[in-house]
Amino acid sequence: MSAATDNAATGDTRALPPATAGVPRHVAIIMDGNGRWARQRKLPRVEGHYRGGENVMRIVEAAQKLGIKYLTLYAFSVENWQRPAAEVDALMRLLESFLGQYARRLVEEKVRLLTIGDISALPAHARKPLEQAIRDTANFTGHTLVLALNYGARAETVRAVREIARAAAAGALNPDALGWDDLAARLDTAGIPDPDLLIRTSGETRLSNFLLLQAAYAEMYFSPVLWPDFDGECLAAALRAYAARERRFGKTGEQLARAEDAHAEKNACHHAAGG
C-alpha cells in the first residue's frame, strides 16, 4: 500500500501538502461549455474542445500560482462515450496531443499527474503517453493534477463496493467494522484529499456524476463563463468567493467560532512559550 493510500485509509492527512490559509487545497472543475463556445463562433464543436484543451495548461499554471495543491479536471466522463464517434475520437486525439505538448512542462514545473476513472478503456494512442506522463511525474509532491478520464462517480463507487464485497466474502473484512475510511481507500481518489471547492463553468448547475462522495462538503461555485474563456482571473474570482464562505461541516456557526477562539488561544500560548 502506498503512503498516499495509507492517508486515505486512516484519514491521516499529515503527510499531504499543507493548505495555504484561505486557499482551497483541492479544487475540482467541471470544464463545460466547449460546444457552446464553438457554436457562438459558427465553428465545429471540436474547435471548442481544442480551445478547451489549450485552456487546461493555462489553468494548471494559474492554480499553481494561486497556491492550489490539487486540481482535478473532469476531462471525459463515462457518459461521454455516447457522443458521436467523431467527437469521442477528437477528444482522445486531443488528450494525446495535450500530453505530447505539455508532458515535459509538467515535469519542468514539478506537477504530479494522476488520473481517476477506468483508463484501461482509453485507446492506446492516448493511454500510453498518459501512463508515461504519470510515471515521469510520480515523485513530485508539491502540486498534483488529476485528470478524470472515463470517470463516473457511480461506476467508481460500484468498483469500490465490489472490492469490499470480495474482501468480505474471503473473510478478510468484517462488514460490521466497515467505515467510511474503508470505502474512501477503495475509491479512485484514495490518498487525494476531498475537494474543498467544486467549480462548474458555462452556467450549468449540475454535478453530472462527478466526485459525488468526495464533494460531500465541497463549496460549489457556478461560473457563467464558457470553459475556453475561463482564465486565471476567473479562477481567482472563484477563490475569492470561496474565501468569503463559512464551511461548517455540519456544525453550527457558534461552534466553529468557539473552536477558532480556542485555536487562537492555543496558538497564543505557543507564542508566549516560544517567545
Q: Residue 56 CB, nearest distance to ligand FPP (Å)?
A: 5
Answer for the pair 212, 154: CB distance below 8 angstroms, yes or no.
Answer: yes
Asked if 230 is part of the footprint of ligand FPP (rule: CB under 6 A), the reply reads no
Per the annotation, the verdict on 80 as an active-site residue is: yes
- Cα–Cα distance between 188 and 63 in angstroms, integer? 22
Interacting residue with ligand FPP among 52, 191, 193, 195 (CB under 6 A): 52
Tell me, what DSSP letter sits at residue 121? G
Per the annotation, the verdict on 55 as an active-site residue is: no
Q: How do 111-116 and 70-77 pair as beta strands? A: unpaired
> Of 24 and 53, which CB lies nearer to ligand FPP in the complex structure?
53
> Of 48 and 191, which CB lies nearer to ligand FPP in the complex structure?
48
Q: Which residues does residue 146 pair with via DSSP β-bridges, in sequence order?
A: 72, 114
Interacting residue with ligand FPP among 8, 75, 187, 238 (CB under 6 A): 75
> Of 13 and 64, which CB lies nearer to ligand FPP in the complex structure?
64
Asked if 208 is part of the footprint of ligand FPP (rule: CB under 6 A), the reply reads no
Asked if 32 is part of the footprint of ligand FPP (rule: CB under 6 A), the reply reads yes
Tell me, what DSSP letter sits at residue 80? G
Enter the C-alpha cell of residue 95.
488528450
Asked if 53 is part of the footprint of ligand FPP (rule: CB under 6 A), the reply reads yes
Q: Residue 11 CB, nearest distance to ligand FPP (Å)?
A: 30
- Cα–Cα distance between 173 and 165 in angstroms, integer? 9
Q: Residue 213 CB, nearest distance to ligand FPP (Å)?
A: 22
Enter the C-alpha cell of residue 181.
475510511
Burial of residue 264 (CB within 10 Å: 0-12, 13-18, 19+) is: exposed
Enter the C-alpha cell of residue 245.
464562505
Region from 21-29, 31-39, 239-247, 252-260 binding ligand FPP, contact rule CB under 6 A: 31-39
Site string for ligand FPP, 122-161 (x = CB under 6 A): -------------------------x--------------
Q: Residue 275 CB, nearest distance to ligand FPP (Å)?
A: 49
Which of positions 78-97 make contact with ligand FPP (CB under 6 A)? Answer: 80, 94-95
Q: Which of 7, 32, 55, 196 is catalytic?
A: 32
Tell me, what DSSP letter sits at residue 183? H
Runs of H (alpha helix) within the chain:
3-10, 34-40, 45-66, 85-108, 124-136, 153-169, 180-184, 232-243, 253-274
Angle at 211 between CA 210 and CA 215, to 5 degrees: 120
Active site residues: 32, 80
Residues in contact with ligand FPP by CB under 6 A are 31-36, 49, 52-53, 56, 75, 80, 94-95, 98, 147, 202, 227
